Amino acid sequence: MPDRPLEVTIPTQLIDMRTPVDKAILVGAPERELDPRVADEHLDELARLTDTAGGRVVGTLRQRLAHPNPRLYIGEGKAEELRELVQSTPADLVIFDEELSPAQGKNLEDLLGVRVLDRSELILDIFATRARSREARLQVELAQLEYLLPRLRRMWSHLSRIRGGIGLRGPGETQLETDRRLIGTRIADLKTKLRDVAKAREVQRRSRQGQFRAALVGYTNAGKSSLLRTLSGADLFVEDRLFATLDSATRTVDLGSGYSALVTDTVGFIRKLPHHLVASFRSTLEEAREADILLHVIDGSHPDWEEQRQVVREVLEDLGLREAPRLMVFNKTDRLTHAEEEALRARVRSLETHPAVFVSALVPASLDALRETLRARMRARLAQVVIRLDVADGESLAALYRQGEVLDRAEEDGVVVVTVRLPRAYVDRLVEGGADVHEVA
Ligand SMILES: Nc1nc2c(ncn2[C@@H]2O[C@H](COP(=O)(O)OP(=O)(O)OP(=O)(O)O)[C@@H](O)[C@H]2O)c(=O)[nH]1
Ligand SMILES: [Mg+2]
Measure 243 CA to ligand 2 centroid, in angstroms: 7
Nearest-atom index, ligand 1, CA of 360:
31
Q: Determine the pLDDT at residue 348.
A: 94
Residue 371: inside a domain: no
Total structural domains in the chain? 3
Same domain, 228 and 120: no
Residue 272 C-alpha from the chain's centroid: 12
| Residue where a domain terminates, one of 183, 200, 223 | 183
Tell me which residue has its CA closest to atom 21 in ligand 1: 221
Same domain, 342 and 432: no
- At 67, phi and psi to the nearest 5? -140, 135
Q: Determine the pLDDT at residue 441.
A: 67
Same domain, 173 and 221: no
Measure 205 CA to ligand 2 centroid, in angstroms: 21
Same domain, 218 and 352: yes
Same domain, 17 and 147: yes
Residue 218: inside a domain: yes
Q: Determine the pLDDT at residue 318.
A: 83
Q: Which ligand is nearest to the CA of 370?
A: 1
- For residue 343, what is the domain's CATH number? 3.40.50.300
Residue 369: inside a domain: no
Same domain, 40 and 93: yes
Q: Which ligand is nearest to the CA of 228?
A: 1
Q: pTM for this structure?
A: 0.78
Measure 242 CA to ligand 1 centroid, in angstroms: 10
Which among 221, 224, 270 is the best mutation to test ligand 1's pocket, defined by most ligand atoms within 8 Å of the CB?
A: 221
Q: Determine the pLDDT at residue 141.
A: 87
Measure 337 CA to ligand 2 centroid, in angstroms: 25
Same domain, 127 and 18: yes
Residue 192: inside a domain: no
Residue 324: inside a domain: yes
Q: Determine the pLDDT at residue 219.
A: 94
Measure 335 CA to ligand 1 centroid, in angstroms: 12
Q: Which ligand is nearest to the CA of 227?
A: 1
Alpha carbons 36 and 308: distance in angstroms, whole number: 17
Same domain, 274 and 217: yes
Residue 85: inside a domain: yes
Tell me which residue has its CA closest to atom 8 in ligand 1: 223
Tell me which residue has its CA closest to atom 26 in ligand 1: 240
Same domain, 358 and 393: no
| Residue where a domain terminates, one of 306, 332, 362 | 362
Alpha carbons 392 and 373: distance in angstroms, whole number: 41
- For residue 400, what is the domain's CATH number? 3.30.70.240
Q: Determine the pLDDT at residue 72.
A: 94
**Distances in whole angstroms, Cα of residue 283 to Cα of each of 175, 196, 198, 290:** 34, 11, 6, 11
Q: In which domain, by residue range, is 74 found?
A: 5-183
Which among 226, 239, 281, 367 is the best mutation to test ligand 1's pocket, defined by most ligand atoms within 8 Å of the CB?
A: 226
Report the first-to-last Cα separation within the chain, whole angstroms.
79
Nearest-atom index, ligand 1, CA of 237:
16
In degrees, rounded to 5, the angle at the alpha carbon of residue 273 between the alpha carbons of residues 235 and 48 is: 65
Tell me which residue has its CA closest to atom 27 in ligand 1: 240
Tell me which residue has its CA closest to atom 7 in ligand 1: 223
Which among 216, 238, 359 is the best mutation to test ligand 1's pocket, defined by most ligand atoms within 8 Å of the CB?
A: 238
CB atoms within 10 A of CB 268: 24
With a CB cutoff of 8 Å and minimum separation 6, the contacts of 73 are: 29, 96, 98, 100, 104, 108
Name residues contacting ligand 1 (CB within 6 A): 218, 220-226, 238-240, 242-245, 268, 331-332, 334-335, 360-362
Residue 197: inside a domain: no
Measure 308 CA to ligand 2 centroid, in angstroms: 16
Residue 286: inside a domain: yes
- For residue 117, what is the domain's CATH number? 3.40.50.11060
Same domain, 395 and 352: no
Measure 360 CA to ligand 1 centroid, in angstroms: 10
Q: Determine the pLDDT at residue 165.
A: 37
Each residue's pLDDT, cut to its tens digit, for the chain (441 residues) gives 344 444 334 434 455 555 554 799 999 988 777 788 888 888 999 999 998 888 899 999 998 888 899 999 999 999 999 999 999 999 989 999 998 988 899 899 999 999 898 998 888 888 888 787 788 888 888 888 888 888 777 666 655 544 443 334 455 667 777 788 888 899 999 999 988 888 887 777 776 666 789 999 999 999 999 999 999 987 777 777 777 777 778 899 999 877 889 999 988 888 887 777 776 666 667 778 888 899 999 999 999 999 999 999 998 888 888 888 899 999 999 999 999 999 999 999 998 777 899 999 999 999 999 999 999 988 888 888 999 999 989 899 998 888 888 889 999 888 999 999 888 888 888 888 888 998 886
Same domain, 178 and 112: yes
**Distances in whole angstroms, Cα of residue 6 to Cα of each of 13, 150, 174, 359:** 11, 15, 14, 49
Same domain, 30 and 152: yes
Measure 216 CA to ligand 2 centroid, in angstroms: 10
